A and B are shown apart, each in its own frame.
Chain A
Amino acid sequence: MSSTEAIVLAKLPRSRRRHPVAVWLSLALLGLVAFLVLFGNLIAPDATAQSILDSLLPPGSPGHLLGTDELGRDVLDLTIAGAASALVGPVCVALGSMLLGILLGTVAGYLRGPIDFIIGRWTDLLFSLPLLLAAIVVAGVFGAGYWMTVLLLILLFSPSDIRIVRAGVMEQAARPFVEAAQMLSLSKARIMFTQVLPNVWSLVITNSMLNVAFALVAFSSLSFLGVGVAPGTADWGRQLTDGRAIMIDNPAAVLVPALLIIGVASAANLVGDWLGQNLTRTGRS
């Protein structure tokens, strides 16, 4: 096969269509979790209420569909209430790091020069910090807490957003339509945010959906290690830690939150991928 042909083959559009059913299922799951975040309080008002008498009931017990844990908390109620911390944190992390990414990435990619250098070294620094270690140190110094974790993850997730936006902006900034905007003497800020940025949106949104998935896993890991949410809070990662010891008595206490973490993370991934493909189709591929 000649090299010229190999290039042609590589250029052909690969039919990499996501199965629409998987996307619909993912959207349904994300919708359900979002619903639980909004109305979980009404469905399971006393999720964290403890009852020694009812401890360690197996799944299917009367009044406790998924049984109870060691402290007598209803696993179903706990899982419903845990949706809030499972989704709100990761979404905040994704939005926060997206905002940082857009601001710093666009400025670095469009203006280049010393500003680009400084932002580049800043992302290098953040990239070199190991997530779990940093979280444990921060928890030790400032005390563990949900919103502290959110802030930390925004900071640690932002370098990849910054680099992705920067790369996209650099690619677009060399296009003649940007020079056409310069010929109209538009301000740099205006060119960056009204002409260049719209062409990078698909990248940004796809990456943010992936960030939601990664952040959910990161939150759960931190809760599992005990540096995330405070003990006693309804949280899927926390449920994994607490449920480990009672896996034989009530397997649902571990399996249900574990499956939900996997499910929501995968769903966010799939939807992100699907959004990315459909958004790029409107622009020039």
Chain B
Amino acid sequence: MTETRMTNVPASGAGLGSGSSIGSGTGPGIDSTAQVAVTGLTIDGPAGVVVAPFDFSIAPGETLALIGESGSGKTLSAKAIAGLLPAGFSARGSIALSSATIELPSTDAVWRATRGRRISLLLQDPFTSLSPVHRCGTQIGMTIDAASATRLSREERTARITQSLAEVNLPAEVARAYPHELSGGMRQRVAIAAALATDPELLIADEPTTALDASNQGEILDLLRGLQEKRGMAALLISHDLGMVRGRAEHVLVMRHGEIVERGVTSSVLNAPSHPYTRALIEADPSLTDRSAGVVRTASGVGVTPAAANADSATGDLVVATDITKSFGDKTVLHGVSVTVGRGETVGIVGESGSGKTTIARCIAGLEHETSGVIEFDGVALATGRASRTPKQMQIVFQDPYSSLNPMISVGRSLKLALRVAGRPASDLNGLLQLVELPTDFASKRPAELSGGQRQRVAIARALAVQPQLLICDESVSALDVSVQKQILDLLSKLRVELGLSILFISHDLAVVRQLADRVYVLRHGEVVESGPCHDVLNAPTHPYTQALVAASIHEAPTH
């Protein structure tokens, strides 16, 4: 073992020297006071090295952020440190904790003694990381049992569970709830309670808030931060979101294609990035650059707003939804919501999950039957449901690019089907692919061969194939990385100008809506609490909820 370690250290030195700029005084180098020191961490995949050797250390109570796009190797690195690499991958290097040192590759027995006790892992998705069939208290209890040397009495365990829940600001009753009875934010709190119940030295948080709403994201991160300082616990925060990292991590590592390209103190890396990739990441992040809606329009090469450009050709509103209510059983999710979309206008609907923003879009699309209210399209009232609507009126681009394309049908077949529905010749296929900036040989590919961004382009192409008057984007960029997000947003702003599209854009992400929308509605608990021109509403919100949403949005512009 010692020999393996000896050979690894020089290799890691070489890897660092080639790909990074270390400020020796400020960078997270190896130091003796560190809670966690990882040396020469290398990950080998089926086809060679996938993560080049790198070192880092984290002081007690501090957070190190590991930043990169999906596919950069950041999650693999986290899994290697938790001993959870998928089959076919193996890690080299060593992990020094204050209580023990683990030499990689290690045995299952060592990992069982370490994982969950000294090192805990918090996962991205609070919807799947908890077992649906166990009460939350039982799940926290399982971690406590696994970590305690002696068998706890019933009362003791209950007391420990209550204490764990209190730490994450949850009432004791949550112990008796099943995960499906809780909101996403509450579930992630339960997951945190379970991960911290064993008092680990290192917490690895893998995109812990990506699946949550903006207002929840801030709360969860601040909660983690507080717990971490109280316990003197080191944390490794994995994220693709630079805005989230600001103010929440002391040091940052930027990873690309399995190599660390930049490292240092968070504020200096974000304010003065030295590597071009870091600069590109910062530019792509909507929250870190001050691009108000007006600037985007200029950037897209058109000096006037699309709404103004189309105002001459047609007047009046395309969609007028008046006083829409919608109940599922005895639960009412929309209480009289009215939304209008003008011709050529892009309208944003913002709100947390559960606010009803998706439901109103689905009612307009006819995928959901509104309980009451009137939806007029082009001046004609539509009966509820799909039957009264034609494909040419409106199309939807859904959130999840992985399930919105039929996995068994090639891209070309999907698009040709849509073209046929619109009565267009199949020869329009190439033009359609070019419209969404995809190479024409993509027609023969299956969705499984495409990346998330490429799939979303195909989904947009399918929606545009029928030449709809209204495009509904239901969280269409939420599942994508920031840099891909920017590309898709740029594509949408290009298309709405070229095609004179009206767009109804649903999102929980204020930064994204700010980039695209002319007007915005803020929804809360199924009611519109504020609406108006995007710039006014988001920069000078009048309703307390909008103010909270804007403030809670962790995306803050750089301070300098």
Contacts and interface: CB of A to CB of B under 8 A. Distances in A.
Interface of A: 1-9, 12-13, 15, 175-177, 179-186, 195, 198-199, 201, 282-284
Nearest to B409: A198
B122 interface: yes
B404 to A, nearest CB: 4
B421 A184 contact: yes
B130 A3 contact: yes
A182 B367 contact: yes
20 contacts: A1-B115, A1-B116, A2-B142, A3-B140, A3-B142, A5-B84, A7-B130, A8-B123, A9-B84, A12-B84, A176-B398, A177-B407, A179-B398, A180-B459, A183-B386, A185-B389, A198-B408, A283-B448, A284-B403, A284-B447
B369 to A, nearest CB: 13
B146 A282 contact: no
A192 to B, nearest CB: 13
Given A4-B123, A176-B398, A185 B407 contact: no
A9 B112 CA distance: 12
Nearest to B141: A3
Given A4-B129, A12-B86, A180-B396, 16 more contacts: A1-B112, A2-B115, A2-B121, A2-B142, A3-B140, A4-B121, A5-B121, A7-B130, A8-B121, A13-B87, A176-B404, A180-B405, A198-B406, A198-B409, A199-B407, A282-B446
Interface in B447-462: 447-448, 459, 462
- Which of B129, B134, B418 has the most CB atoms of chain A within a 10 A radius of its CB? B129
Given A2-B198, A3-B194, A185-B389, A284 B115 contact: no
B448 A282 contact: yes
A7 B116 CA distance: 13
Nearest to B389: A185
Interface string B116-130: 100011110000111
B395 A1 contact: no
B400 A2 contact: no
A282 B409 CA distance: 10
Interface string B413-434: 0000110010000000000000
B183 interface: no
B408 A183 contact: no
Nearest to B398: A176
A8 B84 contact: yes
Most buried by B among A5, A185, A283: A5
Nearest to B82: A5
Pairs of residues from A and B, 4 with the lowest C-beta to C-beta distance, nearest first: A198-B408, A176-B404, A176-B398, A2-B116
A3 B146 CA distance: 10
B131 interface: yes
B402 interface: yes
B199 to A, nearest CB: 12
B87 A12 contact: yes
A282 B408 contact: yes
Contacts of A282: 407-408, 446, 448
A195 B404 CA distance: 12
B466 A184 contact: yes
B195 interface: yes
A25 B197 CA distance: 52
B407 A284 contact: yes
B365 A2 contact: no
Interface size class of B (residues with CB under 8 A): 35 or more
Contacts of B395: 183
B503 to A, nearest CB: 15
Residue among A1, A176, A183, A283 having the largest count of chain B Cβ atoms under 10 Å: A183
Contact of A7 (B129, B391, B399, B409): B129
Contacts of A195: 406, 409
A3 B459 CA distance: 36
Contact of B130 (A4, A175, A185, A198): A4
Given A183-B391, A198-B406, A3 B87 contact: no
Contacts of A283: 407-408, 448
B143 interface: yes
B191 interface: yes
B390 interface: yes
A2 B409 CA distance: 40
B352 to A, nearest CB: 21
B87 A15 contact: yes
A202 to B, nearest CB: 9
B20 interface: no
B402 A180 contact: no
A283 B447 CA distance: 9
Contacts of A201: 408
B384 interface: no
B139 interface: yes
Given A2-B195, A177-B406, A180-B459, A186 B421 contact: yes
Contact of A2 (B194, B402, B421): B194
Contacts of A6: 131
Contacts of B391: 183-185
A1 B146 contact: yes
A230 B126 CA distance: 62
B406 A2 contact: no
Contacts of B405: 177, 180
B396 A179 contact: yes
Nearest to B85: A12
Interface string B47-87: 00000000000000000000000000000000000101011
Nearest to B405: A177
B509 to A, nearest CB: 19
Nearest to B421: A184
Given A183-B396, A282-B446, A282-B448, A5 B115 contact: yes
A177 B524 CA distance: 28
A177 B398 CA distance: 9
Given A7-B129, A198-B408, A184 B418 contact: yes
Given A177-B403, A184-B421, A4 B408 contact: no
Nearest to B123: A4
A4 B403 contact: no
A3 B137 CA distance: 11
A7 B128 contact: yes
B84 A185 contact: no
Interface string B380-400: 000000100111001110111
B177 to A, nearest CB: 15
Contacts of A3: 130-131, 134, 139-140, 142-143, 194
B417 A199 contact: no
A198 B120 CA distance: 41
A158 to B, nearest CB: 24
B462 A180 contact: yes
A65 B490 CA distance: 79
Contacts of B396: 179-180, 183
